[in-house]
Structure 1
Amino acid sequence: MSYLFFDIECCDGKHMCSFGYVVCDEKMRVLKKEDILINPEYPFRLARKGFEPEIKLAYPPEVFAEQPNFSFFYDKIKELVLSSDMVLGHAVTNDVRFLNIACSQYKLQQWKYCALDTQKVFAQLTRSQNMSLEHIAEKTGVSIKHLHKSDDDAELTMEAFKAVLKKIKMTPEEIAEICPTCVSYTEGGTPKASNASAYKILKAKVKTLQAKKGPFSGKTVCFSEHLEKKDTLKVWAILKEFCKKGGQYTNMAEKADYFVRADFVCKRHKVVQNSKVMDIFGFAQTVGLDFKCFAPDNLEYLRSEPATASFKDMLKAKGGENLKEIENILNASDASEIKTDSPKP
């Protein structure tokens, strides 16, 4: 099993000037690392005229200008991509597009392949709005060497993804299966993502889980359906570990021993009776998973402002039942303001 992590830098946000990569085995041990420098044959424009570039490449433009163009490295890069069991990258859809542009530039045949986007995987696991490679590395505890040096960025992507795999106890293949929207593939020269439903895949896979003997033998868990749809990857990782330790899944909240709630009271939550109610991070810890690095950056704010958090999540849910909850929150807020501002008789 071999994994290819790659990263591309461009001279102008469109034309590639380096292809950096690391090839790893199934344990994410680096077998090969290289930074292929390419003459883009286009001017370097990393910022608007008069502005300081936000991106600083690892080498000056003249170094790239001394290298062969993309057509010289075409066969080598093609072999790297097509010979790997899985191709991965951070925001890899962009890199796939850059490769397609380079092929078109030199009238070379584009090849078909799939690539797992590690940025989309992390987005599935956290509510953080910052999806930069630097931020993800920081969240997963990975040290940063040099940003915007393609081979180092490819290795950083691998190290951060390796940390994620350790946290959720899954393989890249399992992630690609449960979250097909994280996979980009080329079709007619355009990178596209699958529109398969992760929720439907989860419901099918849940039926294949078999409880083993362990500390949760005889115990059941039910998740908010909102979490099953929104946090599918986290739910699946937790369910696997829970069943591995003796537990079983149920969609009958009224009979569950544990209920994992969303940030608002959903239909299942309303029928909970004697279940121990927990949020997804608390239940992950209960089954022995450390999901702290996936907690939203503003977690403390959300906990201190439950009405605001519920309002935001219910807007995303867009369900008819939730509209009533939103209306209640707004009415309660208005009543509170009237009571505060009105003078005593």
Structure 2
Amino acid sequence: MEEYLNARVTHLELSGIRKFFNMVAEFDDVVSLTIGQPDFPTPLHIKEAAKQAVDEDFTVYTHNAGFLGLRDAAAKYMLKKYNVSYEAESEVIVTTGASEAIDISLRTILKEGDEVILPGPIYPGYEPIVRLCGAVPVLADITKSSFKMNAEVISGYITDKTKCIIIPYPSNPTGVTLTREELMEIAELVRGKGIFILADEIYSELVFDQQHTSIAEFLKGQTILINGLSKSHSMTGWRIGFLFAPKEIVQHILKVHQYNVSCASSISQKAAYAAVTAGFDDTAAMRDEYKRRRDYVYSRLVEMDLEVVKPDGAFYFFVKLPEAYSSSQDFALELLKKQKVALVPGDAFSPLGEGYVRLSYAYSMDTLKRALDRLQLFLKK
């Protein structure tokens, strides 16, 4: 019966990140720097809020968009953090993770043949959804712009078929973000055109050397803003994301959300409420530790004469392969077999990621030191 399935689905491939992660599981004594997941526990007060929700039988459907108290708290959180204003009743949807927010946004705005500009390299969670919608992903090469998806880069890819520009920042896999000035230039480039900006700002709280700016501050009418708690509050498994957009857009995205999941988990919503209220500053200590790790990893990579752009945020390095290697798969496999260190091959992040490997530093300093010591030994040999 496989021949009768939707060809758009059968032609999709599993994420290269997960495929390599599964391969790593077959080896013993591996130091893995593959997964982009915070290594901190969810803050205690958030877990207690979830327990209380269970005890109080808050185990029923909520409003499709999420219970109003959470939407209101999320809107206030975004206003205070990033100076973007949204109405809780009509411009906020609580989603099942940021991934669902991306999915329902693209399914709402895209038609057959529309073009979507994405930076390359890029996390593999966007392009398959674009293809499932019958739209065309257009990879913008950011390897020559210090991994910046800026207005100059974008302008070279806009056509009369462009419907959406996806801007994830800070970026997975590069950790690079955009400045306030660069975001203003992008806003001016597309202002008044029939082009949506899908701004994936899930790593917004993990920016080290500057203040995160949301492009929605300059272009609210054309922006669908995605955020969530997975990275900021170490809540990956709770699956809570937030979607913010003007009401005339949200009213239609909400329909897709409703028929997709009805609503996000009620228990997780109560935990999320604690995160965006009492946990307003929960990220600070985590961010400081990530910055300390970033600086350590960067110094080690530079010592090894590896070419790398110093990341502004998130918890990734996208490291250029030594000249002796042309295949990221070959490099990653050889490193895995010879020194038991796992890094993600760059081609998992689109063809434009070839020639690189991704290193996640969402691991303890001890783990990072052991992995980098082994990497250094591998390079010397």
Same fold flag (TM > 0.5): no
- Larger Rg: 1 or 2? 1
Which TM class, normalised by the smaller chain length? under 0.3
TM-score normalized with structure 1 length: 0.26
